Amino acid sequence: MELEGIGALVAGGASGLGEATARELARRGSRVTVADLNEEAGRALAAEIDGDFVRADVTDEGDLEAAVAAAAGLRFAVSCAGIGWAERTVGRDGPAALSPFETVVRVNLIGTFNVLRLAAAAMAANEPDAEGERGALVMTASIAAFDGQIGQAAYSASKGGVVGLTLPAARDLARFGIRVCTIAPGLFDTPLLAGLPEETRAALGAQIPFPSRLGRPEEYGKLACHVAENTMLNGEVLRLDGALRMPPR
């Protein structure tokens, strides 16, 4: 897929991995629609990259329908919206609370599927290119889907669901010429880690075999764009982690 001139949607695009992806897409000539709950940051980014902004909750059908409709000529969508939660299955006060588990799964898994289904439906109406392709989608999992640590039951389960969604979604959408891949990042320098002391951040980066540092959001953005450009990438989960395998804690 040629990114120059296409419509692209980045859900969760106002910060972190999504922001970096939106910037990289704009740099390559795509018209980017940023969808996010953070209206101030989203509008500022859209103005900076000459794109569009739609305030959207990924779990809300109406919000996502509006975001997809705003992305004229949509051929590429990236789903980066997500939240985390840390709680042991059984703690000092008894079993884990059910509500946070449900919320994490709703945002990370159901929200991702909401982006997938609505963006893919819009892409299915596109004219195919010379390869027969009508669109491509990238979802965001995490290495926690494979190496979940103590306390990560909700987060790991939600991201494991995204991993499990990848291949059947790619097979479902193959008849339309729409590809689906997932990126599973390791430890990245995103707002999730920004509040930690620099000493702690450095120690986290030192766990990574090579390069021994936190991942940079732009490295995620470049891989997402490569997925769009490389037509043979389909139905695959790509670990982006510097060969990191997380220990139990």
Which are the catalytic amino acids?
Answer: 155
Q: Measure the CA–CA gap between 192 and 40, rounded to whole angstroms.
A: 19
CB of 232 closer than 8 Å to CB of 238: no
Q: Measure the CA–CA gap between 158 and 115, rounded to whole angstroms.
A: 15
Four-CA torsion 196, 197, 203, 205, nearest 10 degrees: 60
Segment holding 182, helix H or strand E: strand 178-185
Residue 119: phi, psi to the nearest 5? -65, -40
Q: Measure the CA–CA gap between 170 and 139, rounded to whole angstroms.
A: 11
Q: Measure the CA–CA gap between 98 and 59, rounded to whole angstroms.
A: 18
Q: Which residue type, as a one-letter code, is found at position 227?
A: V
Chain centroid to CA 122? 19
